[in-house]
Structure formats: C-alpha cells, structure tokens
Amino acid sequence: MSITVFSAHLDDAVFSAAVQLRRPRCRAVTVFAGPPPSDLIRTHWDGMTGAESSAARYQERLAENARALERLGCVSELLLEPEDQFRDGPADPDRLAEMLRAAMEGSAEIWLPAGIGRHPDHVAVREAGLLALRQLSPPVSAFVYADLP
C-alpha cells in the first residue's frame, strides 16, 4: 500500500477524507471497529437512532462502511478495538501505537484524524499515530485531516 488513512470509527474517514481514499493504492484502517459487548442490549445513541439493538446497528455500520469504501475503490482493514462508549476508560496509548505502527508498514504516506472536537477516540488515534510515526524507520510522510462531522 502506498497511502494509509486511519479512521477512528466506521465511516469517519469516508465522511472526512474521501478525497484521499479515492487515490490509487489507498487503504483505510478503522481503529475502533470492535463489536459492542455481547451483554449490551442497546446504547442510548443507538436507541435514539432507531436501532433494534446495538449488535444489529454494528452489523449495519460494518456493511455501510464496506459499501462506501468499495465505491471509493479503497481497501479496508478493521482493528477490532472497542470504541469509547464500550470501554471503562481511555484506550491504552502504547498498545494503540504498536497496532498503528504495524499497520503503517509499507506505507509511503499516512493520514491521521486531527481530533477536532476532542472526541477521545479521534484524539487517541491521532496521538497513537504520531507516537507510531516517531518509531518508524525509515520515516514516512504524514498528514492530518479535518475529522468532521
């Protein structure tokens, strides 16, 4: 792969970095793409959006993400880390950095979310990505994208 775009959640990079995802030899790596806990019926957000269950909404989001990336012609990789709403604390920055560093191997260009809005998952991916970049040898070009909405 030539370009790796890291996405905190499913569809984040599609909404915020589609221009990069359309480039040849691009790969989207979604970090917090883990399923909800099996004992969780439905989160408040999933209920507000009309989901039958958080598990069903997760399957819908996986399919939507795959369709969007396919239309953009982009390869997808999912790291099955639990997102903020499914964790009891912050993500382990060293563990994340190691996973991101491994995913950066072979890339000539890296794109990370800027962390606009300070969502903990977006900030965690940015910070872990920056840490991982410092550990890469040889160094690669790195950029941040405005992660909106």
Q: Residue 131: pLDDT above 90?
A: yes
pLDDT digits (tens, 9 = 90+) for 55-109: 999 999 999 999 999 999 999 999 999 999 999 999 999 999 999 999 999 999 9
**Other CB atoms within 10 Å distance of the CB of residue 11:** 15
Pairwise CA distance, residues 102 & 80, whole Å: 14
CB 18 within 8 A of CB 115: no
**HSE value, Cβ hemisphere, 13 Å, CA-based, for 119:** 19
pLDDT, one tens digit per residue, over 9-45 is: 999 999 999 999 999 999 999 999 999 999 999 999 8
